[in-house]
């Protein structure tokens, strides 16, 4: 008997050793401060990390622990969000301003510490206060744990492709002016690839991203849409791409010549350098679903892929990009992706649903305050946005997660409506003649969820002011995309379209313009989790809500206390 106990103990120790042997502590320091760059014939001061734009690439493995010391030397309040990281029992590190923490004030610092648990692929990090994520962002690459491999042949090289926007002005001032006047912000002056605008812009001939490749080799491109307010098309001249993952979730391989990608999303593609030796442009420009209604940056950024041995001339080939309003191409890409069943960290679709929600998403109006000049879409109004006719407002004195942990009342309520307070023909533009319907009350309303409950949410776009494809991001969880389509969601006919076998998994869904998407997720992560539109212009005007997930029954399913250095308001 003693021998059996001894053998069991040794086996247990080996299991524990094996589970931790490949885990490492990955530590970084982010010095956030002003940086002056020359772009588009201008010298522009931006906020950046460690003197780089984009910021540093963080490279970790599944099971690693990340420790990032953020030192705020900028003149602005700051938080950092680790976009797509589950933050299991580490919600204090999630980062959205006034949701999980108060901001890091200028001259102060905060250490983010969390583990990477059951995730691998491409995610990213960015500022989550004000509009600072225009320049404060970078890639977060999660590789398989030691001894594991990709569910596809190992590529010859791996390349982050960060798509962004650039303004010839202070982005914080631009956002503040827009909020004060009650209108949308000025559109960007350029798009960028890895921080470079490309040679179609003035003074930018030598400011173009260049990728050198070897003919016959395969490369993994980790594409990230870090733009503030634009969905984007991305193409490479004469090359196909094979999608193998989205939002750090493996997919069945999908061959395409164009990628549609919404702000916040990531797409991993395999690129085989199989064309004649030469040079080929990669290019990106907007997918503007509200074309003709909502202003957007209509320029094009491009970089170049140069094969080893390619001559310096002729000019690289240029891809033919989709039209700005090519919704069929965007929808084909968004809706044709499926999960890799049995792949690393794959989760089957939850069948039993505990909490059903029908949530409208779109623009709205607010009354212009007295003695204020507003430039909203209707005279005497301010532009707003809402979910189920509720325009979200962040608290000011205490973060929502602190209120949850310490049981402090008055910071948020748990009465977010599970369905629209008024039912109407959601995608019919004639609703704009019903003026009272356009105004959304403000508040900090959330939905309380039992631990481990399953949520099904219908996200329904409305035609209030304009139909638009909204990228909706859920913190703390991945979700299954059950189905998506156009028009008003009809449960009698559309529920039969649910993919219960291999639906794609994401953390950010581009809800079709004038349409709907249905998602499911399991609330297995206690804390307060923001859900919001990842158009930066829409979050501060209210297109958000939050989920309050109760603690589970054991210490292993209970949110621990906040770290000692958590910023105070």
Q: What is the mean pLDDT of the segment spanning 429-456?
A: 96
User: Which positions ≥6 away from 107 have C-beta within 8 Å?
Assistant: 72, 73
CA-to-CA distance for 400 and 407, rounded, in angstroms?
10
pLDDT of residue 289 exceeding 90: yes
Residue pair 516/489 in contact by the 8 Å Cβ criterion = yes
What was the pLDDT predicted at 6? 36
pLDDT of residue 503 exceeding 50: yes
Q: In what order do the strands lie in the sheet with 210-213?
A: 210-213, 300-307, 279-287, 231-236, 259-261
What was the pLDDT predicted at 21? 52
What was the pLDDT predicted at 438? 95
Q: What is the mean pLDDT of the segment spanning 400-407?
A: 98
457 phi and psi angles, rounded to 5 deg: -125, 125
The span from the first CA to the last CA of the chain, in angstroms, equals 59
Q: What is the mean pLDDT of the segment spanning 9-14?
A: 40
Q: Considering Cα of 325, then 327, then 333, then 338, what sign does the dihedral take?
A: positive
The CATH code of the domain at 152-341 is: 2.60.40.420
User: Which positions ≥6 away from 89 have C-beta within 8 Å?
Assistant: 525, 526, 556, 557, 558, 559, 560
pLDDT of residue 507 exceeding 80: yes
What was the pLDDT predicted at 266? 98
Answer yes or no: pTM beyond 0.85. Answer: yes
Residue pair 471/533 in contact by the 8 Å Cβ criterion = yes
User: Which positions ≥6 away from 372 have C-beta within 8 Å?
Assistant: none
In this predicted model, what pLDDT tens digit does every residue of 18-70 receive, in sequence order? 444 578 999 999 999 999 999 999 999 999 999 999 999 999 999 999 999 99
CA-to-CA distance for 567 and 559, rounded, in angstroms?
18
CA-to-CA distance for 200 and 299, rounded, in angstroms?
8
Return the closest-CA partner of residue 304 out of 202, 163, 190, 199: 199
User: Which positions ≥6 away from 260 have C-beta within 8 Å?
Assistant: 231, 232, 233, 234, 287, 329, 330, 333, 334, 510
Q: 152-341 with 355-557: one CATH topology?
A: yes
Q: How far is CA 536 from CA 43, 112, 139, 164, 567, in A?
A: 24, 23, 18, 13, 23
What was the pLDDT predicted at 293? 82
Which pair of structure tokens corresponds to residue 221? 């491109």
SS3 432: helix
User: Which positions ≥6 away from 195 have C-beta within 8 Å?
Assistant: 53, 54, 162, 164, 209
pLDDT of residue 386 exceeding 90: yes
CA-to-CA distance for 536 and 271, rounded, in angstroms?
30
Q: What is the mean pLDDT of the segment spanning 390-409?
A: 97
pLDDT of residue 8 exceeding 90: no
In this predicted model, what pLDDT tens digit does every residue of 135-169 receive, in sequence order? 999 999 999 999 999 999 999 999 999 999 999 99
Is omega for the bond preceding 20 within 30 degrees of 0, making it cis? no
DSSP code of residue 549? E
CA-to-CA distance for 467 and 463, rounded, in angstroms?
4
H or E element in which residue 4 lies: helix 2-21
Is omega for the bond preceding 54 within 30 degrees of 0, making it cis? yes
What was the pLDDT predicted at 371? 85
CATH superfamily name and code, 355-557: Cupredoxins -  blue copper proteins (2.60.40.420)
pLDDT of residue 125 exceeding 90: yes
**Architecture in CATH for domain 24-148:** Sandwich (2.60)
Q: What is the mean pLDDT of the segment spanning 316-320?
A: 98
pLDDT of residue 14 exceeding 90: no
pLDDT of residue 1 exceeding 60: no
DSSP code of residue 412? -
CA-to-CA distance for 442 and 541, rounded, in angstroms?
10
Report the alpha-carbon angle 237-241-242, nearest 5.
Answer: 175
DSSP string, 114-128: EE--S--EEEEEEE-
What was the pLDDT predicted at 312? 87
Name the average pLDDT for the chain: 94
Place of tokens 């638009």: 468
Residue pair 66/113 in contact by the 8 Å Cβ criterion = yes
Q: How far is CA 347 from CA 22, 120, 253, 387, 505, in A?
A: 23, 14, 18, 28, 9
Give residue limits of the domains in the chain: 24-148, 152-341, 355-557
CA-to-CA distance for 258 and 172, rounded, in angstroms?
33
438 phi and psi angles, rounded to 5 deg: -80, -15
Question: How does residue 302 score in pLDDT terms, banded at 50, 70 and 90?
Answer: very high
Residue pair 449/414 in contact by the 8 Å Cβ criterion = no
pLDDT of residue 280 exceeding 80: yes
pLDDT of residue 482 exceeding 70: yes
pLDDT of residue 428 exceeding 90: yes
Percentage of the chain exceeding pLDDT 70: 96
What was the pLDDT predicted at 82? 98
CA-to-CA distance for 191 and 163, rounded, in angstroms?
7
379 or 99, which is more confident: 99
H or E element in which residue 333 lies: helix 327-335
pLDDT of residue 197 exceeding 90: yes
What was the pLDDT predicted at 250? 98
pLDDT of residue 5 exceeding 80: no
CA-to-CA distance for 558 and 482, rounded, in angstroms?
29
- How many alpha carbons fall within 13 Å on the CB side of residue 64? 21
SS3 203: coil
């Amino acid at each position: 008997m003693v021998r059996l106990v001894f053998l069991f103990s040794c086996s247990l120790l080996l299991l524990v050793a094996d589970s931790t042997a490949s885990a490492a502590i990955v530590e970084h320091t982010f010095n956030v401060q002003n940086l002056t760059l020359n772009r588009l014939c201008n010298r522009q001061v931006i906020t950046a990390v460690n003197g780089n734009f984009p910021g540093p690439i963080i490279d970790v493995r599944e099971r690693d622990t990340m420790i990032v010391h953020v030192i705020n030397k900028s003149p602005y309040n700051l938080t950092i969000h680790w976009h797509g990281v589950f933050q299991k029992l580490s919600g204090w590190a999630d980062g959205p301003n006034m949701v999980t923490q108060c901001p890091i004030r200028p001259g102060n610092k905060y250490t983010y510490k969390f583990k990477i648990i059951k995730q691998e692929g491409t995610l990213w990090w960015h500022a989550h206060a004000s509009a600072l994520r225009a320049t404060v962002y970078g890639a977060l690459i999660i590789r398989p744990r030691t001894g594991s491999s990709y569910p596809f042949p190992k590529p010859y090289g791996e390349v982050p492709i960060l798509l962004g926007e650039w303004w010839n002005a202070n982005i914080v001032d631009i956002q503040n002016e827009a909020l004060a006047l009650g209108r949308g912000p000025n559109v960007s002056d350029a798009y960028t690839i890895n921080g470079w605008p490309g040679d179609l812009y003035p003074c930018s001939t030598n400011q173009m991203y260049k990728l050198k490749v070897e003919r016959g080799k395969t490369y993994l491109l980790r594409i990230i849409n870090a733009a503030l307010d634009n969905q984007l098309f991305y193409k490479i001249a004469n090359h196909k791409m094979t999608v193998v993952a989205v939002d750090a979730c493996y997919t069945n391989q999908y061959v395409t010549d164009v990628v549609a990608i919404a702000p916040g999303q990531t797409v991993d593609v395999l690129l085989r350098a199989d064309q004649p030796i030469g040079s080929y442009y990669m290019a990106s420009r907007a997918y503007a679903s509200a074309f003709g209604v909502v202003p957007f940056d209509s320029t094009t950024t491009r970089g170049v892929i140069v094969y080893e041995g390619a001559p310096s001339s002729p000019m690289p080939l240029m891809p033919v990009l989709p039209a700005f309003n090519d919704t069929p191409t965007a929808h084909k890409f968004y809706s044709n992706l499926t999960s890799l069943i049995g792949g690393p960290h794959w989760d089957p679709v939850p069948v039993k649903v505990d909490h059903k929600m029908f949530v409208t998403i779109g623009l709205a109006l607010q009354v212009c305050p007295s003695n204020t000049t507003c430039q909203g879409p209707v005279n005497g109004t301010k532009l707003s946005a809402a979910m189920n006719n509720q325009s979200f407002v962040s608290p000011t004195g205490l973060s929502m997660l602190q209120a949850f942990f310490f049981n402090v009342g008055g910071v948020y309520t748990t009465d977010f409506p599970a369905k629209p307070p008024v039912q109407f023909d959601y995608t019919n533009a004639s609703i704009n003649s019903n003026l009272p319907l356009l105004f959304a009350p403000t508040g900090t309303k959330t939905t309380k969820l039992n631990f481990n409950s399953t949520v099904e949410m219908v996200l329904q776009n409305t035609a209030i002011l304009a139909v638009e494809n909204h990228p909706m991001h859920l913190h703390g969880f991945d979700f299954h995309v059950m189905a998506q389509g156009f028009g008003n969601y009809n449960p009698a006919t559309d529920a039969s379209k649910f993919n219960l076998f291999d639906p794609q998994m994401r953390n950010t869904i581009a809800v079709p313009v004038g349409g709907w998407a249905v998602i499911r997720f399991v609330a297995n992560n206690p804390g307060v989790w923001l859900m919001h539109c990842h158009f930066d212009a829409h979050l501060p005007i209210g297109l958000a809500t939050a989920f309050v997930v109760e603690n589970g029954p054991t210490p292993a399913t209970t949110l621990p206390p906040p770290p000692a250095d958590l910023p105070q308001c």
